[in-house]
Amino acid sequence: MAAGTPLYAPLDGFVHSFKDNNVFGDYGPTIIVEYILDNVKFYTLFGHLSRESLVGMYEGKKIRKGEQLASVGNFPINGDWPPHVHFQLIVDMGDKKGDFFGVSSLSQKEYYSILCPDPNLVLRMSQL
């Protein structure tokens, strides 16, 4: 995706947390949105965003389905990656805020596969 590409909320929710993970190789600006669907709570992490995506952000902010939530960031702001978005589905944030593990060791793959199911359950994109 090109830097500046708008990113839209897939569902109604609210901002759980956000942070500029401003460390080389990290997410850069990150927003985590909390949802409740059919009495099930879950979260989505949007990482590698533009710094402008955090302007006006606050915990508890309502997010509407189809609303522009953020935009794709450019390097070096986005953790020094080529422009793209990291979209991750998470079923339990634990005590984390504004950040969450994006990779795991092979020995923890099964655990994180349960904690972070296939994001296409939300996105429903035929290309994935």
- For 81-106, the DSSP string reads --S--EEEEES--TT--S-------G
pLDDT, average across residues 105-118: 88
pLDDT in tens, 78-102: 999 999 999 999 999 999 999 998 8
pLDDT in tens, 19-64: 999 999 999 999 999 999 899 999 999 999 999 999 999 999 999 9
CATH of span 6-123: 2.70.70.10
Question: What are the distances in angstroms from CA 108 to CA 4, 24, 101, 102, 114?
Answer: 34, 24, 11, 12, 10
Whether residue 76 has a cis bond before it, omega within 30° of 0: yes
**What is the pLDDT, as a whole number, of residue 118?**
79
Length of the chain: 128
pLDDT of 128 above 80: no
**What is the pLDDT, as a whole number, of residue 88?**
93
With 0-12 / 13-18 / 19 or more C-beta atoms within 10 angstroms meaning exposed / middle / buried, residue 61 is middle
What's the rounded Cα separation, in Å, for the pair 128 and 125?
A: 6
User: What are the structural domain ranges in the chain?
Assistant: 6-123
pTM higher than the cut 0.75: yes
Give the amino acid at 56.
G
3-state secondary structure of 107: helix
Q: Where residue 122 falls among pLDDT bands split at 50, 70, 90?
A: confident
